[in-house]
Amino acid sequence: MNKFKILTINPGSTSTKFAIYDGQEAELEINLKHDTTQLKKFNRTIEEFEFRKEAILTALHQKEVEFESIDAISARGGLLKPITGGTYIVNQQMLADLKTGIYGEHASNLGALIAQEIAEEFDIPAYIVDPVVVDEFEEVARVSGHPKFERKSIFHALNQKAMARKASTDLGVDYQDLNLIVAHLGGGISIGAHKQGRVVDANNALDGEGPFTPARSGTLPAGDLMRLSFSGDYSLSEVYKMIVGQGGLTAYCGTADAKEIEEKIKGGDQEAGFYYRAMAYQVAKWIGAVGTVLKGEIDAIVITGGIAYSKIFTEMIIERIGFMAPVKIYPGENELKALAQGALRVLNGREEPKIYN
């Protein structure tokens, strides 16, 4: 297998992470944290393009990176039309959709745009890998309960797919031949049913489905939410912030930091302990629900994401779901490596690149 050098780019809401990979090994990793006062001067995400691109180039020049040695650029995919999982060539249709923000605005939209501009200068390919809009749902999974609402596939596709592949390697079985449940535990929490290489169901981790998280409310009682929304006491934006950003542990305990919660628990804060257990309870319950999608035929359950570093939290989950299948824990988000791996599968001829249209 040939070794290729890959520049990976992952723009987040207040940071830009990027790395140089030589094969699957990181030679350089940088996390640029952006001052929120700098970002506030931009009215739209697309306006941050030059600012973010120059920040990346400046940091790479300071590290004396030789751009001529880079074989490809692989970026986090943004909000695009629903697509199947895989590695996609950055093309003009993709760039146009990201520039207009027709499917929504998010910092991840900038990944392909920055990648393409740098790639053109050095005549190398640019890719995106498993964006959050990966949609491989079975049709029955789209049904919500009312025809005016359809369940959408929005989840941590990049890390979920990468960790599912890691589990398949550890199990010695092809990803396409396994049934897995993958739970990504971070600021948002997504739980996906991976059926022979396709994520056939997952909770909408963006805005209001699944277990509550450090900052999101998850599924709320619909009637109570409706009555609160029409009470006249809250605006639409205030209600949305209750669901996304100021829900979950933030609402219950005043912080979204799991480490801080655990420190409170160690200090004897019983209320913090109760809500931490409640979050683990809900995660376990959703894993159980996803098990029914796979009809109980589960080869392994994978727990990943930042909170997977917490032995306390993962043990609370495992004591409820351990009977279902073997549990594998891969802490962290691993997104930069997943981006490199996606490009490498194409460059090594193991996977055909996909076309966005």
Cβ proximity of 33 and 15 under 8 Å: yes
Residue 229: pLDDT over 60? yes
Residue 219: pLDDT over 90? yes
Parse the chain into domains and list their residue ranges: 5-136+335-355, 157-331
Mean pLDDT computed over 65-69: 90
5-136+335-355 and 157-331 in the same fold:
yes
Residue 208: pLDDT over 80? no
Residue 163: pLDDT over 60? yes
Q: How many CA atoms lie within 13 A of 155 on its CB side?
A: 34
| Strand-pair partners of 180 | 194, 300
Cα–Cα distance measured from residue 7 to residue 81, given in angstroms and rounded to the nearest whole number: 25
Cβ proximity of 131 and 10 under 8 Å: no
pLDDT of residue 1: 53
Cβ proximity of 135 and 153 under 8 Å: yes
Q: Strands of 327-331's sheet, edge to edge?
A: 198-202, 189-195, 179-185, 300-305, 327-331
Q: Residue 207 — very low, low, confident or very high, per pLDDT cuts 50/70/90?
A: confident
Strand bridging mode 126-129 / 72-76:
parallel
pLDDT digits (tens, 9 = 90+) for 169-199: 999 999 999 999 999 999 889 999 999 999 9
Report residue 279 as tokens: 């979050």
> What is the identity of the amino acid at 325?
A
Provide φ and ψ at 305, rounded to 5°: 95, 175
pLDDT of residue 322: 96
pLDDT digits (tens, 9 = 90+) for 129-143: 999 889 999 999 999
Cβ proximity of 94 and 80 under 8 Å: yes
Nearest to 322 by CA among 111, 162, 181: 181
pLDDT digits (tens, 9 = 90+) for 236-294: 999 999 998 889 999 999 999 999 999 999 999 999 999 999 999 999 999 999 999 99
Q: Span 157-331: which CATH code? A: 3.30.420.40
- Looking at domain 5-136+335-355, its CATH architecture is 2-Layer Sandwich (3.30)
pLDDT of residue 267: 94
Percentage of the residues of the chain whose pLDDT score is greater than 90: 84
Nearest to 127 by CA among 161, 53, 65, 77: 77
pLDDT of residue 211: 97
pLDDT digits (tens, 9 = 90+) for 13-25: 778 999 999 998 9
Residue 62: pLDDT over 90? yes
Nearest to 304 by CA among 108, 198, 156, 175: 156
Residue 233: pLDDT over 80? yes
Average pLDDT, rounded, for the chain: 93
Q: Residue 51 — very low, low, confident or very high, per pLDDT cuts 50/70/90?
A: very high
Cβ proximity of 328 and 167 under 8 Å: yes
Cα–Cα distance measured from residue 88 to residue 261, given in angstroms and rounded to the nearest whole number: 39
Nearest to 87 by CA among 130, 136, 118, 24: 130
Residue 36: pLDDT over 80? no
Cβ proximity of 2 and 348 under 8 Å: yes
